[in-house]
């Protein structure tokens, strides 16, 4: 990985959980790896009043918890580049001080006038903060930074965390607000799933291996399943989750990105413009379901009570009569040459039977069973499973003859990332933030991609979904694989979910 450019990383919402658990540990790992420029520093901004040293002490506790290879001496060196500025970033009051502090740190650390803003705040604050950044004149890209030895353009960029909008209209509004202050190439819509090695490896798997790509189409693939299952409930995120739900929280963002990588056409080259162009095309090719038959395309649920946790509807803070889904399964199809007729099933849920994020590619069975005389019935098709979490591995199921007599059994080949490459996973935010520092948008979302993803799932969120949000359907047992309606979604076509344990 190429090192990030020098910059002042300004984290807006620095007192939040994301900053403590993810962002600062990720930047520390990048410091240890040598990919964070030594001419970079971090400025946290939040309403809490504290000094630089107080914030460093507070962060040290979190970094020790989150980073496997914590080293006291390297932390001491890194922490000297961390600063704090109190203030409410959604109003004008602190911006004169903030601008002066950025200028001072730019000079102190030789950051070349580069500033990377990270929006680690509640989504409703995105637009007010962007407006204040613009009004304060903190975006000056095109001005030149010069030293005795070099001359180059400075830049100002912004990373926007999910959820990117609450529906199609709010996403479009946020894009317009960002566009009034930043150029499109300076806007980085982050999805930390794209920082996961296995998700990135989908591109290499598909396009660097000639034995798979010729089969990656509707002639050979029967259907695709994408699952993100969690055993935990909503935890302390009750207020957020009841206003969000499983579709907005997981499908519109994370799983749509996985879907795009599975289904996209080969890009012309491994460059941001070409990769994002193909993702935009494939998301745009998603067919909207018939609103009169939405039950054939989606199933929703809420988890019930268990011995160690209340039912979702009984949790303190959940609105009475809520129909917010903690489980969702959607059936999607593409209107294009490669995937016409191949259903993609996406599901996600809380309090399910196992923690697993995976892609299952189910191939069609052989057209003719040559072993009919010794093995009546149809052979099952090959199946490829790409596991993203908790393990990182690829497996391929194929048929083989059993020793000693003529019968066919399924066997499995597997590649495990940890064993194959003897590597440890790093926090996914780290490489993505370094990409933003060096101007690489390959693993970031374009505005058209975001708006297209919202458009595809809106039938399951707006008034058209009322029919599948009735109480009788919003129940599934904690520790199960979801409601019966989700099984029916596949069973009516003679298919079944792949439910590993």
Instruction: Give CA 419 to chain center in angstroms.
Output: 25
C-alpha distances in angstroms, 251 versus 178, 322, 479? 23, 20, 21
Contact 356, 386 (CB under 8 A): no
Q: Residue 272: how many CB atoms within 10 A of its CB? A: 17
Give the integer Cα–Cα distance in Å for 60 and 73.
12
What the block records as the tokens of 283 is 């998301």
The candidate with the shortest Cα–Cα distance to 336, out of 289, 290, 282, is 282
Which residue out of 254, 274, 405, 446 is catalytically annotated?
A: 254
> What is the distance between the alpha carbons of residues 168 and 250, in angstroms, rounded to a whole number?
16
| DSSP per-residue codes, 225-247 | EEEEE-SS--TT-HHHHHTTHHI
Percent helix, strand, coil in the chain, to 5, is 40, 20, 40
Write phi, then psi, for 124 (nearest 5 degrees): -70, -10
Helix, coil or strand: residue 90? coil
Yes or no: say if 186 and 141 are a contact pair by the CB < 8 Å rule. Answer: yes
Measured from the Cβ of residue 78, the count of other Cβ atoms closer than 10 Å reads 21
Q: Where are the alpha helices (DSSP H) in 141-296?
A: 168-181, 197-207, 238-242, 245-246, 256-263, 272-284
Residues 6 or more apart whose Cβ sits within 8 Å of residue 290: 296, 297
For the range 169-172, what are the long-range contacts, defined as Cβ-Cβ under 8 Å and sequence gap of 24 or more?
171/450, 171/451, 171/454, 172/451
What is the 3-state secondary structure of 359-423?
A: EEEEECCCCCCCCCCCCCCCCCCCEEEEEEECCCEEEEEEEEECCCCCCEEEEEEEEEHHHHHCC
Measured distance CA(387)–CA(71) in Å, rounded? 31
Whether residue 254 lies in the annotated active site: yes
Dist CA 388 CA 198 (whole Å): 6
Number of alpha carbons in the 13 Å side-chain half-sphere of residue 111: 26
Give the per-residue SS3 of 8-62. Answer: EEEEECCCCHHHHHHHHHHHHHHHHHCCCCCCCEEEEEECCCCCHHHHHHHHHHH
Cα 251 from Cα 259, distance rounded (Å): 10
Place of tokens 């052989």: 366
Catalytic residues: 254
């Amino acid at each position: 990985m190429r090192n990030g450019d020098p910059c002042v990383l300004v984290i807006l919402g620095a007192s939040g959980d994301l900053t403590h658990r993810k962002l600062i540990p990720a930047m520390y790992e990048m410091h240890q790896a040598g990919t964070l420029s030594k001419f970079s520093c971090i400025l946290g901004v939040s309403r809490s009043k504290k000094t630089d040293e107080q914030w460093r002490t507070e962060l040290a506790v979190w970094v020790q918890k989150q980073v496997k290879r914590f080293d006291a001496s390297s932390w001491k060196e890194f922490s000297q580049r961390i600063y704090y500025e109190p203030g409410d970033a959604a109003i004008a009051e602190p911006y004169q001080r903030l601008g002066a502090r950025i200028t001072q740190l730019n000079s102190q650390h030789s950051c070349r006038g580069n500033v990377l803003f990270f929006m680690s705040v509640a989504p409703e604050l995105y637009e007010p903060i962007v407006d204040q950044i613009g009004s304060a004149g903190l975006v000056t890209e095109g001005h030149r930074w010069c030293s005795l030895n070099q001359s180059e353009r400075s830049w100002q960029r912004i990373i926007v965390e999910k959820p990117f909008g609450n529906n199609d209209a709010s996403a479009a509004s946020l894009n317009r607000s960002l566009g009034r202050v930043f150029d499109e190439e300076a806007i980085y819509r982050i999805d930390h799933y794209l920082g996961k090695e296995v998700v990135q490896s989908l591109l290499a798997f598909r396009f660097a291996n000639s034995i798979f790509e010729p089969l990656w189409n509707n002639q050979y693939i029967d259907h695709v399943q994408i699952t993100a299952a969690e055993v935990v409930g909503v935890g302390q995120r009750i207020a957020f989750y009841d206003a969000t739900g499983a579709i907005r929280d997981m499908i519109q963002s994370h799983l749509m990105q996985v879907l795009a990588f599975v289904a996209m056409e080969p890009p012309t080259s491994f460059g941001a413009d070409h990769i994002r162009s193909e993702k935009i095309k494939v998301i745009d090719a998603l067919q909207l379901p018939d609103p009169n038959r939405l039950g054939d395309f989606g199933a929703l649920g809420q988890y019930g009570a268990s011995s160690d946790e209340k039912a979702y509807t009984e949790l303190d803070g959940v609105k009475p009569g809520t129909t917010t889904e903690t489980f969702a399964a959607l059936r999607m199809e593409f209107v294009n040459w490669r995937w016409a007729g191949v259903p993609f099933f996406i599901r996600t849920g809380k309090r399910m039977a196992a923690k697993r994020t995976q892609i299952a590619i189910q191939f069609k069975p052989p057209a003719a069973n040559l072993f009919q005389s010794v093995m009546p019935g149809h052979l099952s098709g090959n199946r490829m499973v790409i596991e993203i979490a908790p393990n990182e591995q690829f497996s391929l199921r194929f048929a083989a003859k059993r020793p000693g007599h003529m019968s066919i059994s399924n066997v499995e080949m597997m590649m495990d990332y940890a064993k194959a490459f003897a590597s440890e996973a790093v926090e996914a935010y780290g490489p993505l933030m370094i990409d933003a520092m060096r101007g690489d948008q390959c693993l970031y979302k374009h505005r058209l991609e975001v708006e297209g993803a919202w458009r595809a799932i809106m039938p399951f969120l707006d008034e058209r979904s009322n029919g599948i949000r009735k109480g009788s359907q919003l129940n599934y047992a904690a520790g199960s694989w979801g409601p019966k309606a989700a099984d029916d979604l596949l069973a009516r076509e003679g298919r079944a979910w792949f439910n590993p344990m």
